[in-house]
Amino acid sequence: MASVSTKEEIEKASRKTIEALYGTSIQDFKIRELFALPEKGKRDSWDVQTTFLLNNLKYTVDLVIMEKDGQVTNARLIDTMKPL
């Protein structure tokens, strides 16, 4: 896999991962928060918090993506809610 260092590359890798986990019928995909890991020192990965709609529910999923190769090392469902 290619390195992931720009916001566009991060969004592409994140969307690909979310579609692999939840299917291609997601809507309104957004990156809500983006942090470099570790917070201090040389960056080696990204903490990406995403939101999207699926079956009339809003999902928030946190991903950790390695910068050097785009591998996802952690994916965690944070919240599922009915949008207002």
Cα separations in angstroms, 74 against 21, 28, 35: 12, 22, 14
Q: How many domains does the chain have?
A: 1
The answer to whether residue 20 scores a pLDDT higher than 80 is yes
Q: Is residue 13 part of a domain?
A: yes
pLDDT, tens only, 26-77: 999 999 999 999 989 999 999 999 999 999 999 999 999 999 999 999 999 9
Q: Is residue 2 part of a domain?
A: no
Q: Is residue 1 part of a domain?
A: no
> What residue numbers bound the domain in which 12 lies?
7-81
DSSP helix/strand/coil, 17: helix
Model pTM score: 0.92
